[in-house]
Amino acid sequence: MAETEPDTAPETAEPPIQAEDLIGLNPSLSRSISQALDDGDDDAVNSLIEPLHYVEIANLLEQMHPESRRMFVEHHSSNFDPEILPELDENVRNEVAEILGINTLSTAVSMLESDDALNLLSTLEDSRRDSVMAAVPAAVRTALAEGLKFAEDSAGRLMQRDFVAVPAFWTVGETIDFLRDSVDLPNDFYDVFIVDPGHRPIGTVTLSRILRSKRPVQMDEIMQPEILSVPVTMDQEEVAYIFSQYHLVSAPVIDDGGRLIGVIMVDDVVEVIHEEAEEDFMRLGGVREDDLYAAVLDTGRSRFSWLFVNLGTALLASIVIGFFQGTIEQIVMLAVLMPIAASMGGNAGTQTLTVVVRAIAMKEITGANAGRVISKEILVGIFNGLMFAVIIGAAAWLWTGELPIGLVMAAAIIVTMFVAGLAGTAIPLGLSRTGVDPAVASGVFLTTITDVVAFCAFLGLASLFLL
C-alpha cells in the first residue's frame, strides 16, 4: 500500500513576481523609502536601497520631494555612488551636486568614465565646474579640459579615453599577457584595436576571437581590417546612425591626423539615440527640452516664445475667416461646419509630418527618392480625402438638410487633405535642405497652411456656389 506523501506546501504562498516589479523602481518601495526618511529611520533606508541599481536610485531621487531628496543625499554623501549622477535629470543633478559639495563631486568626477565625467561637468554651473576642476588630480584635470574643448554634441564628448590598442606584430599570447598584467585597462571593453607605428587604427579583434586563437598567432592575422573610424568632430547623431547601420559594439575615435585617441561604446550610443528621439519629439510639440523638473517660471518662459508664434498663426487663420464674414452671416451653419475641414487637414498633415521627420532623421529620404515620397503622400491624401468626403459630405447633408452644403463640404475636404499630404512632406524636406531642423519649425508652418487652405476652400466654395 503506497504511503501518502505529506503536504509540504507552505501555509501562505508568496505572490508571483510580476514583470513590472523587475523593471524600474517599484512604486511601493519608493513610498517605503520616503516614509523611512520622514521617520528618520536610517537603518530602514539603508536596508531598502541596498539591493537597488544605481539607475533605480537615480529614479528614486527624481521622484522624491526636494526636502526628502536633501535628507537622502546628506545621509549618503560619504558613500554616494558616482554612477548615479550621470543618470539624473539635469535640474535634479544640479540640486544634488550642491548638496554633495565640491570634495565629493571632485571624487565622483575622478572615478567616472571620461565621457560620463564630461557630461556631468558640462551641466554644472560655471563656478561649481571650475571648483571641481581645481580639486581633481592634475592628470584627470588635463584630460577633462581637453574633452571640454570639443563641441557639446560631438564624438569628442561622447568618447572614452580608456581603450586597448596593440601593434599588429604582437601575438595572441603577448596580447593576453598584456591584458592580464596591465592595471590601466578600461572597466569594460569588447574590442582590441590594432594600430600602426603612427598609432592609426588599422583593424579590430574581438575578445572572443582572441580567446579562441592559439598563442603564437599574430594579431594582424585574425584582425578585421575593415574598420569604421569616427572623426572626433563628428556630430553624435551621425555617430548613432553609423552604429545603427553597421551594428557596432564599439568604434575608434580619431583626431585630424588619423591617430586613435578614444573609443565610443554602444551603451553611450543608446543614450544618444534616446536623447535625439526625445529632442525631436519635444520640438514637434513646441518644447525646447524636457522641463519636467524645472522651476515653474523657467518652464513658462521657455514655452512662451513658441506659444507666441502659434498666436500669430492663429491670427492669420482668423484674418482669412474675416474675409468671408458676409458669407458666414448669410449661412450661419458654415461657422459650425468649417472647423471640421481644418481639423481633418491638421491631423492628416501631422501624420505625414511625423513619418517624414523620422525618415529624415534616419536618412531614409535622399534626393533620389524624395519625389516618390512626395507623390505617395499626395496620393494618400487624395485617397483619404475622397473617403472622408463621402462620409463628412453625407453627414453635413443629413445635418443641414441642404445637399449643396454637403457637396461643398466634401469638395473642401478633398482639397484640404491633398494639401495636407503635400505640405506634410514638402515642409520638412524644404527645411532640411536649408539646414533648419525640420522637427523645430515644421509644425507651425503645417498648422498655418492646413488651417488657411481649409478655411479658404470651404468658405470660398460656399461663396461661389451657395450664395
Angle between helices 333-361 and 438-465 (to 10 degrees): 150
CA distance 95 to 107: 17
CA distance 446 to 293: 30
Q: With the CA atoms of 78, 79, 85 and 87 taken in that order, what torsion angle do they form, in degrees rounded to the nearest 10?
A: -150
CA distance 259 to 76: 42
CA distance 404 to 393: 9
Highest mean pLDDT among 68-82, 100-114, 156-170, 314-328: 156-170
pLDDT for the residue 256: 93
Mean confidence (pLDDT) of the chain: 85
C-alpha cell at 85: 549622477
Q: What is the CATH number of domain 165-266?
A: 3.10.580.10
Query: Mind listing the pLDDT tens digit for each residue in 162-218?
Result: 899 999 999 999 999 999 998 888 888 899 999 999 999 999 999 999 999 999 999
How would residue 320 be classed by pLDDT, with cut points 50, 70 and 90?
confident
Q: Evaluate whether 165-266 and 296-465 have a shared fold.
A: no
Share of the chain above pLDDT 70, in %: 89
pLDDT for the residue 375: 92
pLDDT at position 3 over 50: no
pLDDT at position 1 over 50: no
**Farthest-apart Cα atoms in the chain, separation:** 101
CA distance 45 to 51: 11
C-alpha cell at 266: 554602444
Angle between helices 114-123 and 138-148 (to 10 degrees): 70
Residues 338 and 413: beta-carbon distance below 8 Å: no
C-alpha cell at 40: 528618520
Domain parsing of the chain, residue ranges: 22-150, 165-266, 296-465
pLDDT for the residue 12: 46
Query: Who wins on pLDDT, 201 or 295?
Result: 201
pLDDT at position 67 over 90: no
CB atoms within 10 A of CB 59: 19
CA distance 281 to 277: 6
pLDDT for the residue 434: 85
Please give the CATH architecture assigned to the domain spanning 22-150.
Alpha Horseshoe (1.25)
pTM of this structure:
0.65
How would residue 9 be classed by pLDDT, with cut points 50, 70 and 90?
very low
Superfamily name and number for 296-465 = SLC41 divalent cation transporters, integral membrane domain (1.10.357.20)
CA distance 361 to 2: 71
User: CA geometry: angle at 12 spanning 11 and 16, to 5°?
Assistant: 140
**Exposed, middle or buried, 376 (CB in 10 Å: 0-12/13-18/19+)?**
middle
pLDDT for the residue 312: 78
pLDDT for the residue 289: 60
Mean pLDDT of 121-145: 87
pLDDT for the residue 391: 94
pLDDT for the residue 4: 46
Of 95-109, 135-149, 301-315, the one with minimum mean pLDDT is 301-315
CB atoms within 10 A of CB 372: 10
425 secondary structure, DSSP code: H
